């Protein structure tokens, strides 16, 4: 592609955006928590920043952005790592433009009081929410989850087994049984257009029963559910002026749908649709400028990815031959601590079911290979 200039991409895992931005023709500076081998391969510069409690360290981010100022980047495209601390986006904006929603939109859409009140005004169904201590009737009549505003990846979600004290910045949400689904969409400030419909799954751990495990694109779901997801995206875009790529997470139960949250940023399902020429990343930049008229040719196959977390402390042989269907490859042989992400297993096929089947087969194959190598 004929693009030029430097783009900064910042996310807990920047690899998919760094790869796409480079494919679109930009010089890429990647900021994330891992600096995996494939991120290093796609970016001209990579900076691993201290990351804890769902966000970047403000001082570390400030230092890196200050150092980049002289190279006059076109802007910063951001993923996860900012919603719990929107002030980090304000900090970034002191150095360069943001490719994404304005700070006020991120702050408001990740604040439970504002977001769920807006869903009510727009007549968008969602599970019941409590912003105050649960009553005994609440506990007797439903199962509840405790969530942290601005949390991502599901690591912050806990089941309420008793009426625990509500922490600042948290809220209760009624647990609804069903299938986790999502919509990835582009918005130009007034209207939304679907990129793709996805099914998600969990990778539960004892302390993180709702940890994100992965997703598959081109998911099969009733047409009515697709319509509800897209209508919700349209309403929210028109109400708050969403721009760029965003996603809606929801629970599907037959033909019924409940919206769980809006992610007003680049998300993990971006990776399931990205084309070889970086077209989806360019769509994000164009949509941030108010243009979704130039629609890219996206990956037409169903794509699945699975985040493989270490079931126990794992040494990683320095000479391990990672398959080409593995992404986010660790760059050191220091080993991976129990519960930490090892890599991402990917698969493509004609249908979502076939992609998931191939992905599961590859996960088993990778586990066996790692056991033999260790």
How much is the pLDDT for 69? 86
Give the mean pLDDT of 22-50. 95
Confidence of residue 333 (pLDDT cuts 50, 70, 90): low
C-alpha distance from residue 304 to each of 16, 131, 214, 291, 359 (Å): 14, 35, 7, 29, 7
Nearest alpha carbon to residue 125 among 59, 197, 178, 57: 178
Nearest alpha carbon to residue 32 among 299, 312, 331: 331
DSSP letters spanning 202-260: E--BTTBTT-EEEEESS----HHHHHHHHHHHHHHHHHHT-EEEEEEEEEEETTEEEEE
Alpha helix stretches (DSSP H) within the chain: 15-23, 37-42, 58-68, 87-93, 103-109, 112-121, 136-141, 223-240, 279-288, 352-373
Give the mean pLDDT of 113-120. 97
- Element of type H or E holding 101: none
Output the average pLDDT for the chain: 94
Structure confidence by residue, pLDDT tens digits, 206-229: 889 999 999 999 999 999 999 999
Give the mean pLDDT of 151-173. 85
d(CA 252, CA 250): 6
Give the mean pLDDT of 120-147. 94
Confidence of residue 335 (pLDDT cuts 50, 70, 90): confident
Entry pTM: 0.95
- 153 pLDDT exceeds 70? yes
* Contact present, 245 and 11 (Cβ < 8 Å): no
d(CA 337, CA 316): 11
Delineate the domains of the chain, giving CATH numbers in brackets.
6-99 (3.40.50.20), 107-288 (3.30.470.20), 302-373 (no CATH)
Nearest alpha carbon to residue 341 among 181, 148, 216, 212: 212
- What six digits make up the tokens of 248? 């809606």
């Amino acid at each position: 592609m004929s693009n030029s200039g430097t783009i900064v991409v910042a996310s807990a895992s920047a690899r998919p955006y760094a790869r796409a931005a480079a494919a679109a023709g930009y010089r890429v500076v990647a900021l994330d928590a891992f600096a995996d081998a494939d991120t290093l391969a796609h970016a001209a510069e990579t900076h691993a920043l201290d990351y804890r409690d769902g966000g970047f360290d403000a001082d570390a981010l400030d230092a890196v952005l200050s150092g980049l100022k002289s190279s006059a980047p076109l802007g910063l495209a951001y993923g996860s790592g900012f919603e719990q601390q929107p002030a980090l986006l304000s900090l970034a904006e002191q150095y360069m433009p943001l490719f994404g929603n304005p700070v006020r939109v991120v702050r408001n859409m990740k604040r439970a009081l504002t977001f769920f009140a807006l869903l009510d005004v727009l007549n968008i169904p969602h599970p019941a929410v409590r912003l105050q201590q649960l009553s005994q009737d609440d506990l007797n009549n439903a199962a509840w989850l405790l969530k942290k505003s601005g949390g991502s990846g599901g690591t912050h979600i806990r089941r309420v087994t008793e009426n625990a004290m509500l922490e600042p910045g948290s809220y209760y949400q009624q647990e609804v049984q069903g299938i986790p689904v999502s919509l990835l969409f582009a918005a130009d400030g007034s209207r939304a257009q679907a990129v793709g419909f996805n099914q998600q799954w969990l990778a539960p751990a004892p302390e993180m029963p709702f940890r994100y495990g992965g997703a598959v694109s081109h998911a099969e779901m009733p047409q009515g559910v697709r319509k509800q997801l897209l209508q919700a995206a349209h309403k929210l875009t028109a109400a708050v002026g969403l721009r760029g790529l965003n996603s809606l997470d929801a629970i599907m139960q037959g033909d019924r749908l409940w919206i769980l949250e809006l992610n007003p940023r680049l998300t993990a399902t971006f990776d399931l649709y990205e084309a070889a020429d970086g077209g989806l990343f360019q769509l994000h930049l164009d949509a941030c400028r108010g243009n979704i008229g130039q629609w890219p040719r996206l990956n037409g196959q169903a794509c699945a990815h699975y985040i493989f977390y270490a079931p126990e402390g794992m040494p990683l042989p320095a000479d391990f031959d990672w398959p080409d269907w593995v992404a986010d490859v660790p760059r050191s042989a220091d080993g991976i601590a129990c519960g930490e992400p090892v890599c991402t297993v990917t698969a493509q096929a004609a249908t979502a079911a076939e992609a998931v089947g191939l992905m599961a087969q590859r996960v088993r194959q990778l586990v066996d290979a790692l056991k033999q190598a260790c």
